[in-house]
Amino acid sequence: MQPVKANLVFTQIIDIDSGESIESCMEIPVNIVDPQKTLACITYFRRGTLQSLLSLQSIDDDGNEASKPTTKPTLDNNRFINALEAIQQGKFTIEKLKATYSLTEEQAKHPLLNK
């Protein structure tokens, strides 16, 4: 259980077989007035407390990984042609084009990209 009581985030883990329990609590900073920041703080405390009590490892990147796009952007024909020109001028590489953008089948078959 992880209730919030009197400006404290409580965490209690109970073994239902033995009745043993372990508890922890953290105080929510009183200077947070934005409800979204308050909820983010509570969520962060809950996750951190569970990780600590259960000795779990985690990657804490403060949301950087979660904010990355899950798919590569696409290129319309004009931008694709501009990219090809930049490659020919030595300002861009085929590898970077393929790593950065999701190409259509037609774009991927372009002769410049398949030398």
Residue-wise pLDDT tens digits, 103-114:
999 999 999 998
Residue-wise pLDDT tens digits, 3-46:
999 889 999 999 999 999 999 999 999 888 899 999 999 999 99
Residue-wise pLDDT tens digits, 65-103:
666 667 888 999 999 999 999 999 999 899 999 999 999
DSSP string, the chain: ---EETTEEEEEEE-TTT--EEEEEEEPPTT---HHHHHHHHHHHHHHHHHHHTT------TTTTTTS-SSPPB--HHHHHHHHHHHHTTSS-HHHHHHHSB--HHHHT-GGGG-
Cα dist from 54 to 3, 82, 109, whole Å: 18, 53, 51
Domain boundaries, the chain: 4-53, 77-114
Q: Which pTM does this prediction carry?
A: 0.48
